[in-house]
C-alpha cells in the first residue's frame, strides 16, 4: 500500500501528488513536505551513444525528489529496499505522469536533528533491462509479434503495468510487410532473442534490453515512458501537433487494441501554461531571415556482429545453404575478413550449378551488410570457393 504521499502545487497552479507504494505497509498514507521549487523533477535521459536526450532508441526517465524529513520517514527502511520493492507514482491532477522504482543506490542517511532535507530518486527501469533475462511467453499472449514482446517485458517482467501506445505511422525496414508492423511482424524461427551454443547444446535467452532495443531499431523508432504510458514513436513523431496512435492496456490474454488521437501542442500564455510574471523580462529581437542547418550522418556497420549468420550445427550452416546438398561439401574455416566469426569453403563435385543463399528468414532486428558478396553471383560451378 501507499505509505508516503507528497502533495505539492506547481508554478502553473496544478495539483501534483507523489505516492510511495511500499509492500507490507497497512495504514493511512503519511504526508511528507517537499522543498519549494524542487519537490519533484522529471528528467528524460537519452544515455547510450552520447548525452543527447533523443539520440538513443531506449530513453530512460527518472524522477528526483527533495523532501523534508521531519521524523516521519523511516530512512533505514528505505535503505534496505531491493531494486523493485518501492513503486513511485507521480500524478498531475489525478493523471499519471511518471511511474517507476525507488533507487536506493548512493542514498545517504543523515543522523542529525530533524527536520533535514532528504534526496530521493526513482527510475522507470529501462536502463536495467540489459541485466534482465528474457523469459519466453506461451500462446496465451498471442503471436510472436513486437507488441507481445513489449507486453511480456514491460508489463510482466519489469512489472510496470502501464498502457503501451505506438503511432499508427510506424514503418518496418521491410516495406513489403502487409499490415500494421507492430502487430503483423513475426520473430524469425531462430530469432527469439536466444543464443545457441552448439558446443554445449545449451540455449540461453538474451536480455530484455537486447530484444527491446532490436525491435525499436527495426521499426525505426524509440521507446520511452511519458504521461502514464509506454510510447513507441517514430524518429520524428514527437514533433507532430496531432498524434494518431494505437493502445493496448491488458497485460494478460490476447491483446485488445484501440485507436486514439492526441493533440500534443501546448499554448504558452493562456490557461494551459500561463506566464509567471515574477522576475520576468520580455525582450524583442530582429527575426532571422535564414537558417543554415547541417546534418551529420552516422552509418553503422552491422548492429549484430556478422549478422549472426556464422552459426554452425552438426557441421552445417544454420542460416545459409544450397538447393541440393547431395554433391556439395561445406567446410568451416576461420574468418577471412578479420571481423570475427567463421568463413566457409564450398566444393561442388558435380557438373550442375548450385545456388548458395539464405535458407531461413532474417530476424527482424538484423541489420546485415552484403558488401562482401558484391561481384559474386552466388552460383557455384564445378569448383571450390572460400567465403
Residues facing 262 on adjacent strands: 243
195-247 pLDDT per residue, tens: 566 666 566 788 898 889 888 888 888 899 999 999 998 877 767 788 889 99
Other beta carbons within 10 Å of 207: 17
At 189 the pLDDT is 58
C-alpha cell at 1: 500500500
Cα separation, 156 vs 84, in Å, equals: 13
Q: What percent of the chain has pLDDT over 70?
A: 72
Q: Is the pLDDT of residue 366 over 90?
A: no
At 192 the pLDDT is 65
Sorting pLDDT into bands at 50, 70 and 90, what band is 49? very low
At 19 the pLDDT is 95
Q: Give the least confident one: 85-89, 90-94, 343-347, 365-369.
A: 365-369
Q: Is the pLDDT of residue 387 over 70?
A: no
At 263 the pLDDT is 84
Sign of the C-alpha dihedral computed for residues 216, 221, 224 and 230 taken in this order = negative
Q: What percent of the chain has pLDDT over 90?
A: 25
54 within 8 A of 62, measured Cβ to Cβ: no
256-309 pLDDT per residue, tens: 999 999 887 777 666 666 666 666 677 887 777 777 777 665 554 444 344 445
As a whole number, mean pLDDT of residues 17-32 equals 91
Helix (H) or strand (E) run with residue 95 in it = strand 95-103
144-176 pLDDT per residue, tens: 889 999 999 999 999 999 999 998 887 665 555
Cα separation, 283 vs 278, in Å, equals: 15
Q: Give the least confident one: 41-55, 76-90, 301-315.
A: 301-315
Chain-wide mean pLDDT for the chain?
A: 78
pTM value surpassing 0.85: no
Q: Give the least confident one: 7-11, 98-102, 184-188.
A: 184-188
46 within 8 A of 59, measured Cβ to Cβ: yes
| Burial of 269 per CB tally in 10 Å (0-12, 13-18, 19+) | exposed
Amino acid at each position: 500500500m501507499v505509505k508516503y504521499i507528497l502533495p505539492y502545487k506547481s508554478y502553473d497552479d496544478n495539483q501534483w501528488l507523489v505516492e510511495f507504494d511500499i509492500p507490507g505497509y497497512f495504514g493511512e498514507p503519511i504526508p511528507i513536505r517537499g522543498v519549494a521549487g524542487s519537490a519533484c523533477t522529471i528528467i528524460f535521459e537519452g544515455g547510450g551513444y552520447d548525452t543527447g536526450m533523443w539520440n538513443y532508441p531506449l530513453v530512460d526517465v527518472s524522477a528526483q525528489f527533495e523532501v523534508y524529513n521531519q521524523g516521519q520517514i523511516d530512512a533505514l527502511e528505505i535503505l534496505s529496499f531491493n531494486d523493485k520493492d518501492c513503486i513511485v507514482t507521480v500524478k498531475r491532477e489525478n493523471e499519471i505522469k511518471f511511474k517507476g522504482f525507488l533507487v536506493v543506490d548512493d542514498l545517504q542517511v543523515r543522523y542529525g536533528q530533524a527536520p533535514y532535507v532528504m534526496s530521493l530518486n526513482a527510475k522507470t527501469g529501462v536502463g536495467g533491462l540489459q541485466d534482465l533475462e528474457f523469459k519466453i511467453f506461451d500462446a496465451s499472449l498471442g503471436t510472436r509479434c513486437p507488441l507481445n514482446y513489449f507486453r511480456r517485458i514491460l508489463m510482466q517482467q519489469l512489472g510496470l503495468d502501464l498502457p503501451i501506445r505506438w503511432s499508427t505511422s510506424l514503418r518496418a525496414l521491410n516495406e513489403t510487410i502487409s499490415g500494421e508492423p507492430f502487430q503483423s511482424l513475426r520473430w524469425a524461427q531462430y530469432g527469439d532473442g536466444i543464443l545457441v551454443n552448439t558446443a554445449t547444446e545449451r540455449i540461453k535467452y538474451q536480455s530484455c534490453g537486447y530484444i527491446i532495443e532490436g525491435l525499436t531499431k527495426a521499426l525505426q523508432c524509440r521507446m520511452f515512458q511519458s504521461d502514464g504510458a509506454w510510447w513507441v514513436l517514430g524518429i520524428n513523431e514527437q514533433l507532430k501537433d496531432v498524434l494518431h496512435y494505437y493502445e493496448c492496456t491488458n497485460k494478460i490474454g490476447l491483446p485488445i487494441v484501440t485507436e486514439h488521437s492526441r493533440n500534443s501542442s501546448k499554448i504558452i500564455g493562456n490557461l494551459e501554461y500561463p506566464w509567471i510574471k515574477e522576475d520576468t523580462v520580455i525582450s524583442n529581437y530582429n527575426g532571422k531571415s535564414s537558417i543554415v542547418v547541417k546534418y551529420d550522418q552516422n552509418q553503422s556497420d552491422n548492429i549484430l556482429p556478422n549478422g549472426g549468420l556464422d552459426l554452425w550445427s552438426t557441421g552445417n550452416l544454420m542460416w545459409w545453404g544450397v538447393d541440393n546438398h547431395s554433391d556439395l561439401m561445406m567446410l568451416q574455416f576461420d574468418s577471412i575478413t578479420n571481423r570475427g566469426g567463421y568463413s566457409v569453403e564450398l566444393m561442388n563435385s558435380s557438373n550442375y550449378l548450385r545456388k548458395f543463399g539464405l535458407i531461413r528468414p532474417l530476424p527482424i532486428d538484423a541489420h546485415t551488410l552484403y558488401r562482401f558478396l558484391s561481384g559474386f553471383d552466388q552460383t557455384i560451378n564445378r569448383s571450390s570457393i572460400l567465403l
